[in-house]
Amino acid sequence: MSESWLPVPIESDFPIENLPFGVFSVERALRRIGVAIGEKILDCRAVADAGWFDDCCERELLEAPELNPFLAAGQTVWRAVRGRLSELLRAGGDPRLRDAGPEHFLIDRVRATMHVPMEIGDYVDFYSSIEHATNLGRLFRPNAEALLPNWRWLPVGYHGRSSTIVIDGTPVRRPCGQRKPPNAAVPEFGPSRRLDIELEMGFVTGPGNALGTPIAADDAREHIFGLLLVNDWSARDIQAWEYQPLGPFLGKSFATTISPWIVTLDALEPFCVEGPPQEPAPLDYLRAGGPWAYDVQLSVELQTARMREHGDAPQQISRTNARDLYWNVAQQLAHATANGAVARPGDLFASGTISGSEPGTQGSLIELTWNGERAIEMSDGEKRTFLEDGDEVTLRGWCEKPGARRIGFGAARGLIVSS
């Protein structure tokens, strides 16, 4: 394990082994690319202006206000830049940053405002957890097979709305739409009464593909920059009335929260593991060599308005792991481009809700409460089936194992405000 000359708390999500990328601003300054290290952000533009990346990449790539030009540069550049950052921050490494005065390059994270780190052209949401798909099948088709015939053959997905992807901490307004109560003769319009979360992970693409040229599953590492946390908020009552026959629309398009830091595949390599067995065997275009699952521990915390008012800490309501996803990121990207569709630098592909098989490992309230039948009891005695105004949800993700430094993703928070 490496050590940095910069003090990094042992419990930090952002040791020198991580070095995730994001976009930040301080006060009214322009947006800049940064890398998280401990409680600080290393200003990549300042490092580029100092000329310390000149043998790694063009300065313009790291002087941009979003990550897209850097993402487009590809894996060789990503690794060269990340390697240089590691050398500048490592104890006994390249002394230029430390000698030049760290205060000119490092910003306290608490002072920074974080932004969506890339311009997102397209957003795809998959349905990759077999436990989640099975649970919803049992809820809504109790007398039929839980999984539809296509589920084990391909990564089911749909195109979401990139314009409503927001960064950690952005309030989420309760959406309005049509809903049809079970015994009503006609639908009604109004605020959702069954507002839910979806605990997901997403990957961000780097170099894309030419129109008509699919990306092979074995080539996915050349096209995927890294992973982040995703909360794809869902209005279950709006979704239930509108989704047939074309799928989700207003019940999903109102907000999607992401964490601000993209953790690179290289940082996650020590935690890359074999995924669950796939039966039947995938078709040839969905076969990727080597392990492709990531051992990422995930949690959901909920804090009600009353808990916040009384100073009560958020309550963990779910804990699960991304390694259990049936369809992995290489298969997702291969399938999304199998027809020749174009992936571009900065596109976001989300996993779909991640659920486990044990109680308390489900990634949505509709599963945790079994469609509202089993309320969650909060620490102050309140009960929740779906979200109420004033509730704040926090997603967290981290990796740890013996012999490796813990790395994390930060948080993806959202506070529900009234319509």
For 349-403, the pLDDT digits (tens) are: 999 999 999 999 999 999 999 999 999 999 999 999 999 999 999 999 999 999 9
For 45-91, the pLDDT digits (tens) are: 999 999 999 999 999 999 999 999 999 999 999 999 999 999 999 99
Q: What is the dihedral of CA 129, 18, 115, 166, to 10 degrees?
A: 10
The confidence band for 251, taking pLDDT boundaries of 50, 70 and 90, is very high
Active-site annotation holds for 335: no
Please state, rounded to an integer, the average pLDDT across all residues of the chain: 97
- For the residues 155-179, what does the mean pLDDT come to? 98
Delimit the domains of the chain by residue range: 21-115, 123-417
336: pLDDT strictly greater than 80: yes
The confidence band for 28, taking pLDDT boundaries of 50, 70 and 90, is confident
- For the residues 157-161, what does the mean pLDDT come to? 97
2: pLDDT strictly greater than 90: no
Q: Residue 306 has what pLDDT?
A: 98
Reading the block at residue 20, the tokens are 């995730």
- For the residues 154-173, what does the mean pLDDT come to? 98
- For the residues 284-302, what does the mean pLDDT come to? 97
Q: Residue 73 has what pLDDT?
A: 98
What does residue 227 show for φ and ψ, rounded to 5 degrees?
-120, 155
3-state SS track over the chain: CCCECCCCCCCCCCCCCCCCEEEEEECCCCCEEEEEECCEEEEHHHHHHCCCCCCCCCCHHHHCCCCHHHHHHCHHHHHHHHHHHHHHHECCCCCHHHHHCHHHCEEEHHHEEEECCCCCCCEEEECCCHHHHHHHHHHHCCCCCCCCCCCCCCCCEEECCHHHEEECCCCEECCEEEECCCCCCCCEEEECCCEECCEEEEEEECCCCCCCCCCCHHHHHHCEEEEEEEECCEEHHHHHHHCCCCCCCCCCCCCEEECCCEEEHHHHHHHEECCCCCCCCCCHHHCCCCCCEECCEEEEEEECHHHHHCCCCCEEEEEEEHHHCCCCHHHHHHHHCCCCCCCCCCCEEECCCCCCCCCCCCCCHHHHCCCCCCCEECCCCCEECCCCCCCEEEEEEEEEECCEEEEEEEEEEEEEECC
The confidence band for 8, taking pLDDT boundaries of 50, 70 and 90, is very high
**Tokens 């949800």 appear where?**
393
Q: Which fold has domain 21-115?
A: SH3 type barrels. (2.30.30)
For the chain, give the percent of residues with pLDDT over 70. 100
- For the residues 31-41, what does the mean pLDDT come to? 98
> Which is the catalytic residue, given 104, 115, 132, 310?
132
Q: Residue 378 has what pLDDT?
A: 98
Q: Residue 90 has what pLDDT?
A: 97
123-417 carries CATH number 3.90.850.10: yes
Torsion sign (Cα): 168, 170, 173, 175 = negative
- For the residues 172-185, what does the mean pLDDT come to? 96
Distance CA 410, CA 82 (A): 19
Q: Residue 58 has what pLDDT?
A: 95
pTM: 0.97
1: pLDDT strictly greater than 90: no
The confidence band for 226, taking pLDDT boundaries of 50, 70 and 90, is very high
Q: What is the dihedral of CA 301, 305, 308, 314, to 10 degrees?
A: -10
The confidence band for 29, taking pLDDT boundaries of 50, 70 and 90, is confident
266: pLDDT strictly greater than 90: yes
